[in-house]
Chain A
Amino acid sequence: MANVGTLASTMAAEEPVRDRLDGPSGPRPKKVFSRTNIIVYGTLFVVAVYYALPLYVMLVTSLKGMPEIRVGNIFAPPIEATFQPWIKAWSEACTGINCDGLSRGFWNSVTILIPSVIISIAVASVNGYALSMWKFKGSEVFFTILMIGAFIPYQVMLYPIVILLREAGLYGSLTGLVLVHVAFGMPINTLLFRNYFAAIPEELFKAARVDGAGFWGIFVRIIMPMSLPIFVVALIIQVTGIWNDFLFGVVYVRPENYPMTVQLNNIVNSVQGVKEYNVNMAATLLTGLVPLVVYFFSGKLFVRGIAAGAVKG
């Protein structure tokens, strides 16, 4: 009893001393306005504004009328917001050939995108599966050629492909362009799937073989269901990549089949008439909308996709 009493009294006596010695307990609070913090956050903030500004300018300008654009500051928010430029960009803007707006290019792009994405992912995933689990003599050679092919400038292969497509009767058609997208999307996606499947434990594969599952059986029933994330990553890569393509669209299809990027460039850079900046910017935003939506909704998976694409081999 006495002990407790002394203890309590010593503690009481010690308390102020310790307070004076140590200051407040717990981890030292970080100074919010330290010099380093101001530099770090300040720089990041300025750079972020710089990166975000173009999108802001486009959005704001696309909502203004032409008179306001002529007199005003491009950074100022619209005084009278109007959606007229967006409607015009979608359905009335002229390319020099026709005046039915970007909607035609949009639907062309969708028609190109859907089969290209489905076929290229199907082919690339089977490639990755065969290359990682069913290797045969020479399979690595083909894979190496494919990987080197990813670095060859497209211009080198453009014309031979024109000949191939012409021979097949597909030059100028959307089918031809789809096949081109499948071919050029193959290296990166095959690599992606191959590396992912290579990390799947071999025991699983062996067990399935013992149970009598074959090449396709294992792929469809075992590999595919457990690889959903990598399919999503490939989907992101392909959707943004194919939507943003310009070169193949210009070369391999007839003008009436031009994808959205080509049509956008034709609308904006057509020399005739007065430049309607608001309509042009609305058209540009419309074209950028699909990859931006994919980007903002996919978040971490997008980063994973580009990281996978970046770290080759």
Chain B
Amino acid sequence: MAIADEAGNAPAAQAGTEARRPVRILKNLQSKMALIPMMFTALVVFLGGTIWTVVYSFTDSGLLPRLEWAGLEQYDRLWGTRKWLVSIENLAIYGVCSVVGTLVIGFVLAALLDRKIRGENAFRTIFLYPFALSFIVTGLIWQWLLNPELGFQQVVRGMGWESFTFDPLNNPDLVMFGLLIAGLWQGTGLIMCIMLAGLRGIDEDIWKAARVDGIGTVKTYIRVIIPMMRPVFVTSLVLIASGIVKLYDLVVAMTSGGPGIASEVPAKYVMQAMFGGQNLGQGFAASTMMLVMVVIILVPWAYLEFGGRKRG
């Protein structure tokens, strides 16, 4: 029976595949052709470009790229350059403060907006609008607000407190915090929105249970809600961190790296080496180090995110 059935069905099945096969190839062909721009971008621009830069970071390219092997010379020079070390230190300070500040402010604002308040839309619109502005615009705005002859310092002095001093952008010790003020103003709205979406996803019954148990609101947030929102925090963290590594426009607009080299950042070092100093090898080595930083941030996240999903 089975054999007969198989035999009887075989020609029909064969005919079916035969009739379908050319069509399937054609379908795939169309889909493949439609994806050519994407394949080109993924393979040539992203993958190829990255490999190219990493390879050329081991050469002694100067004005023009050339394949003269130089080993780790560029990296030796990079880590021996004070400007680069200052850049890394600045990025670390800015990065830690920015991550903590954005997460805390973003979460608190989201929690406040989630208290079933009136005018939620108006508040959200105000908190989020800086995110629509470019870093150049943000940087220039805050450059003026922090300007000692024009901004806050002048206003407070005008109110009678003559000795008041608040001039972070001209103080090498404080300049990164000046940038931070602007960065937080621009970026917290986004994280607030993501956190708010996360809070809205939490079951209302949790709140009822907490109330029945007599746990206070703040305590409920810290003990129950925040642990539940771990994925949202991780997403926010990745988002903030990958933005921090790119920090460039804001510095250009606000301080141009000054005073002196007090607010230099890696991205600016790369730009300077590649397009200003005609020192391509240094630029490639520095940008490769930026890539390494991103990998250090992303690999644990990818492991948690995708490794965890497989287990689940």
Contacts and interface: CB of A to CB of B under 8 A. Distances in A.
Interface of A: 36, 40-41, 43-44, 47-48, 51-52, 54-55, 57-58, 61, 69, 73-75, 123, 126-127, 129-131, 134-136, 139, 142-143, 145-146, 148-149, 151-161, 163-164, 182-183, 186, 190, 214-216, 240, 243-247, 250-251, 261, 264-265, 268-269, 277, 280-281, 284, 287-288, 291-292, 294-296, 299, 302-303, 306-307, 310-313
Contacts of B43: 142, 145
Contacts of A51: 126-127, 129-130, 185, 189
B112 A40 contact: yes
B239 interface: yes
A304 B56 CA distance: 41
A281 B140 CA distance: 8
B31 A139 contact: yes
B285 to A, nearest CB: 11
23 contacts: A44-B123, A57-B145, A74-B155, A130-B34, A130-B35, A134-B27, A142-B35, A145-B42, A153-B245, A157-B50, A160-B52, A160-B53, A163-B65, A244-B133, A244-B137, A245-B134, A261-B134, A264-B136, A265-B136, A265-B253, A292-B129, A307-B197, A313-B305
A264 B150 contact: no
Contacts of B124: 303
Contacts of B128: 295, 302-303
A277 B270 contact: no
B193 A307 contact: yes
Nearest to B126: A48
Interface of B: 27-28, 30-32, 34-35, 37-39, 41-50, 52-53, 56, 65, 108-109, 112-113, 115, 117, 123-137, 140-142, 144-145, 150-151, 154-155, 158, 185, 189-190, 193-194, 197, 217, 235-236, 239, 242, 245-246, 248-249, 252-253, 256, 267, 270-271, 274-275, 280, 283-284, 286-288, 290-291, 294, 298, 305
Contacts of B256: 269
A306 B142 CA distance: 24
Closest 6 CB pairs of A and B: A149-B46, A244-B134, A160-B49, A134-B31, A295-B132, A157-B49
B158 A73 contact: yes
Contacts of B113: 44
A54 B270 CA distance: 31
A146 B140 contact: no
B139 to A, nearest CB: 8
Given A288-B137, A310-B236, 12 more contacts: A51-B126, A51-B129, A57-B141, A134-B28, A142-B35, A143-B38, A145-B42, A158-B274, A216-B30, A268-B253, A311-B194, A313-B305
A303 B294 contact: no
Contact of A43 (B32, B41, B112): B112
A138 to B, nearest CB: 9
A157 B134 contact: no
B112 A157 contact: no
Contacts of A152: 46, 50, 291, 294
A44 B50 contact: no
B137 A294 contact: no
Contacts of A299: 125
B49 to A, nearest CB: 4
Given A74-B150, A151-B294, A306-B190, A156 B49 contact: yes
B28 to A, nearest CB: 5
Contacts of B235: 310-312
Contacts of A36: 115, 217
Contacts of A54: 130, 141-142, 145, 185
Contacts of A151: 242, 294, 298
Given A151-B242, A190-B38, A311-B235, A295 B129 contact: yes
A159 B133 contact: no
Nearest to A145: B42
A84 to B, nearest CB: 19
B164 to A, nearest CB: 14
Contacts of A284: 137, 140-141
B31 A153 contact: no
A306 B45 contact: no
Given A136-B28, A159-B53, A277-B150, A154 B246 contact: yes
Contacts of A265: 136, 140, 252-253
B21 to A, nearest CB: 14
Contacts of A268: 140, 253
